[in-house]
Homo-oligomer: A and B are copies of this chain.
């Protein structure tokens, strides 16, 4: 059936505006990343929002939940800013979407900056989503965590079991 990829923004997709010196969102890099990874997984990519996860509202989370609930696919990867990724995972779990494996991932360094962890994380999330049992997970740092068993350590930027 393939995998649905829901892009929500986050560091993953940020770019550098050379005129202002600010980071901003333009288009998602997911398609380019899948091409670089030579991925042959059947995917549908949608981009309901492109925002910093610190700005994600309850309404945004409700939209993401709806997208997951009504997606035809049983395997869903969500790219998301790392700051509130765990919070969105919790909201998704609370929505009790039956029979779907949902994996959230992101990046600490924008893909566009060359030295990003994004390509590794996308390969990881796309793999976990194909084999994990239905539930909501976070895939970061090469590991997967169930939604209620993870926190981001803000000092180090690593995700770890809580």
Q: Are B123 and A119 in contact (CB under 8 A)?
A: yes
User: How many copies of the polypeptide does the oligomer hold?
Assistant: 4
Q: Are A39 and B127 in contact (CB under 8 A)?
A: no
Q: Is A132's beta carbon under 8 Å from chain B?
A: yes
Docked pose: A115 CA to B17 CA in angstroms: 12
B residues less than 8 Å from A141 (CB atoms) = 37-41
Residues of A within 8 A of B (CB): 11, 16, 18-19, 21, 23, 33-34, 36-41, 108-110, 112-117, 119-128, 130-132, 139-144, 154-160
Closest A-B pairs by Cβ, 8 of them: A114-B114, A37-B120, A123-B123, A39-B142, A120-B123, A127-B127, A123-B124, A40-B141
